[in-house]
Amino acid sequence: MKNVLITGGAGFIGSHLANELLTHGYHVRVLDSLEDQVHPGGVKPLYLSRDVEFIRGDVCDADTVARSLKDIDAVCHLAAAVGVGQSMYEITHYTAVNELGTAVLLEAMIGRDIGHLLVASSMSVYGEGLARHGNKPVEPPIRSAAQLKTGRWEIMIDGEELQPVPTPETKTPYLNSVYALNKYAQERMGLIFGSAYGRQATALRFFNVYGPNQALSNPYTGVLAIFGSRLLNGRPPLVFEDGRQRRDFIHVRDVARACRMALESPKTAGCVFNIGSGQSRTIADVGIALAEAMGRNDITPHVTGKSRAGDIRHCFADISAARETFEFAPQVAFSEGLSELVEWLSGQVAIDSVERANAELQRRGLVA
């Protein structure tokens, strides 16, 4: 396994994965459409290593995909339209890029000697994360619109608030956004393909990835990048609900390393793994920590008290399966990763499109 194709490889995670693979002696080819929302003006980013072989093209275009697969030994499929909120109204676009694009890629791989496939999935497939009711683990129901309209954010059973616990891969998926549905379809297509054609196929469910090179002007990107964009423009991070929802933040270099390790391990074939830090933080606390690290103690997150369609309350990773199967363990502490992010942010200019994006969601009735 010497030649690796990364679809979506000019993006945030893809570029870091390219660096990780190059460092370990692989030849890396990148296929990326350079979509304007992620790469303004369709310009190839300066952070993408000059050592990658770059092909500009759409993963939905069969001829381009076929060309990109020539002499390839392994594929890391990261190409995707990303974002829960936008997926709820750009349904055709998200389904075309995420599901049709995956189908085009897999069909092009059928007649080729490509032994390894890694598919990037998402924690969004879980819906709500696992919880505990008394001493019993439960799979929480999705909160109703009626509940959210009254500002009752927590999940309750029999009048008792559930306690969130780490979510393992065994939790039943609950697909409450178009994006979640897309990511689940991507991972299942990849694993079905691997089983049918005797390839080593693995799906990784990424939790909240952060770090340098994230698209700051994309209002549907990761929460830390969105908060960073707001703070760079002297505006408070916007936090939905009451800000006490909990998430799992993992540094992008840890994610890149997990991808390489999963690709190289024969034990990962046919399996799905969580890739997170195994720790949880509230969104409000993360916003405060970033503002402090950027020296903007005068700016505090604005808690909107509103909810968005497709959002969930709590979800953070149980990473024991990845640890036991291919010895993955996060190496970048949150404090270290935050400092690195702030250093990178200090040299960036961001177009803050968050309010425009939220207004679009509001106009479509997706914010209540």
Active site residue 220: no
Q: By the 8 A CB rule, do 294 and 352 touch? A: no
User: Rounded distance, CA 129 to CA 123, Å?
Assistant: 9
Q: By the 8 A CB rule, do 196 and 112 touch? A: no
> Residue 343 is inside which H or E element, if any?
helix 334-345
Q: By the 8 A CB rule, do 81 and 101 touch? A: no
> Residue 74 is inside which H or E element, if any?
strand 74-77
> Residue 156 is inside which H or E element, if any?
strand 156-157
User: Rounded distance, CA 239 to CA 129, Å?
Assistant: 20
Among residues 26, 94, 126, 179, the one annotated as catalytic is 179
Radius of gyration (Cα) for the chain, nearest Å? Answer: 20
The CA-CA-CA angle for residues 228, 163, 125, to 5°, reads: 60
Dig out the tokens for 28 from the structure. 């890396």
Partner residues linked to 250 by β-bridges: 209
The CA-CA-CA angle for residues 199, 201, 204, to 5°, reads: 170
Concatenate the DSSP letters of all residues of 150-177 into one string: TT--S-EETTEEPEE-PBPTTSPP---S
Dig out the tokens for 190 from the structure. 């990849």
User: Rounded distance, CA 351 to CA 219, Å?
Assistant: 9
User: Rounded distance, CA 168 to CA 179, Å?
Assistant: 20
User: Rounded distance, CA 141 to CA 304, Å?
Assistant: 24
> Residue 189 is inside which H or E element, if any?
helix 178-197
Active site residues: 179
